[in-house]
Amino acid sequence: QGLKPLVPTESLSPIFGTSKPPSDLRATDSFLVKNKVPDLQKVFQRSDGLPVHLKRGIPDRMLYRTTMALTLGGTIYCLIALYIASQPKNQ
């Protein structure tokens, strides 16, 4: 009694292989790099009064200022375009 299940109940073998790396790779290969997360955690958790988006110095400041300039410029452009579009055309 009942409906046939849509999902097979037996486990299937993996299609793309296993999660283990091949045994001939060494841990010092060039594509393996040092984990930078603990260093970045120290930088971002430091209490120096700066917001998180400005903690990494000059590149963050430049990106923030560029984003703010583009946002303000786009807002001003939209307001000017709305003003021009709201004026009736003289014939």
What mean pLDDT do residues 15-32 have? 61
The fold of 48-86 is Cytochrome C Oxidase; Chain J (4.10.91)
Per the prediction, the chain carries an average pLDDT of: 81
Asked if residue 28 has pLDDT above 60, the reply is no
CA distance 23 to 32: 15
CA–CA separation, 73 vs 67, rounded Å? 10
Here the tokens at position 31 are: 């594509």
- 53 pLDDT band, cuts 50/70/90, is confident
Identify which has the larger pLDDT, 77 or 34. Answer: 77
Residue 81 identity: A
Of the pLDDT bands very low, low, confident and very high (cuts 50, 70, 90), residue 66 is very high
User: Which candidate, 32, 31, 33, 52, places its Cα nearest to that of 41?
Assistant: 52
The residue type found at 51 is P
